[in-house]
Structure formats: structure tokens, C-alpha cells
Amino acid sequence: MTTTTVIPPQSTAPDARTPLIGVLALQGDVREHLAALAAAGAAARPVRRPEELAEVDALVVPGGESTTISKLAVLFGLMEPLRARVRAGMPVYGTCAGLIMLADRILDPRSGQETIGGIDMVVRRNAFGRQNESFEAAVEVTGVSGSPVEGVFIRAPWVESVGPGVEVLATHAGHVVAVRQGRALATSFHPELTGDHRVHALFVAMVRAAVAS
């Protein structure tokens, strides 16, 4: 008597539990974020065009120079699509210049500087000083297991004030340096530069929860 072995069809679909997270790749430390997201268990890819934005589950807005990122986002036709996706609930994480890009209001914008918005806060650019006043400090971040994390501050902004829907996750020297509002996360500092992926892991967990809901 012959027996038949039934081989189940191989699934070629990507693991539904692995979210695809874009990194806005107009200017700034894109490569470091791609590596940190991959290390935190996400699939990651650069986003430069509206079609690429449409394909990702979530987005990181990197550190760099917010005035340049703002200008290029307008030039590349990305500003309105970015605002629309954030309004529609796409998870976003901004570091430093990215935090500025996610602020509803900048205290001291360059003329013509626009933001994506999404977090009800007012930010002050270069609040911790210029490039030569960059520093590192241990920062306790709510929601990051085993906190503190090493905070790298480079011409860093701080959050001057927040609206009622915004949760303050961290402060440094009496100033707010990490916040969350719903699916939007922002830090004044750069976890992508430290090799410690716990803040990215927090974001990936936020994205997984959003994708599953």
C-alpha cells in the first residue's frame, strides 16, 4: 500500500506580523534609523516619494536639519501626503529635527518653515545650544524597559509646552525631551546613534499594535 504525503503549500507572503516602517529619506541620519528599526524587528526602507509613503505602515522622521527637511518635503510633493497619513493615524516617530517636524507649532521657525504636525506641542529649535554644545546624558524614558537610555543631544530642541492629549515620557534638566500623543512618538535626542534599540523597540511595538487593530 502506498502512502501519500501531503506537503502543505509554502507561503510566500511576508510575515504579517512584521511591520514595514519607512524612514523619511530627504536629509539626515536615515541609514542609522534603517539599521535600528531592522534590529528592533521591523522591515525598514527609505521613503522619498508619495508612492513609497503609501506603501509603509509607519514612518520615522530622522534627525538632521528641520528647515532643510521641511523645504525638501514641500519640493518633493510629500508635505500634504505626510500630513494626511499622520492625520489618518499612521504611527510616526521623530528624532530631533524629526521631533520639530511633528510639532504643531515651532516657537522660532525659519521664515517659510513648515511642519507635518501631529503632536499638540510647541517646540524651541536649538534650545540646548549650538553644535559645539552637543552632549550626552542618561535619560529615563517612560515605557522603555530598563531605562535610562543614553541620550545624544545635537543642536537639540526641547518641548516648550504640550496640550492635554500629550504624554510627557522624559525630561532633561527640567525640559521635556520625549513625548507621545496617540500613535506619534518624538524625542529630542538620537537613539539611532547609540546602538541601543530600546526606543525603536517601543515604536515598533506601537506600530504592531496599530497594524493589529
Contact residues toward ligand GLN (CB under 6 A) are 63-66, 96-97, 100, 125-126, 154-155
Catalytic residue among 96, 172, 197, 200: 96
Pseudo-torsion of CA 151, 89, 98, 113, nearest 10°? -150
Catalytic residue (choose from 32, 33, 172, 190): 190
Task: Report the nearest approach of ligand GLN to the CB of residue 95 (Å).
Answer: 7
| Pick from 192, 150, 185: nearest CA to 168 | 185
Q: Smallest distance, Å, CB 178 to ligand GLN?
A: 14
Shortest reach from residue 129's CB to ligand GLN, in Å: 10
Decide if 65 is catalytic. Answer: no
136 tagged catalytic: no
The three cell numbers locating residue 45: 526602507
Active-site annotation holds for 190? yes
Smallest distance from ligand GLN to CB 63, Å: 3
**CA–CA gap between residue 180 and residue 8 (Å, rounded):** 44
Nearest Cα residue to 46 out of 65, 63, 27: 27
State the DSSP code for 193: G
CB nearer ligand GLN, residue 33 or residue 208: 33
Residue nearer to ligand GLN on the CB measure, 96 or 170: 96
Neighbours of 1 (CB within 10 A): 2
Catalytic site positions? 96, 190, 192
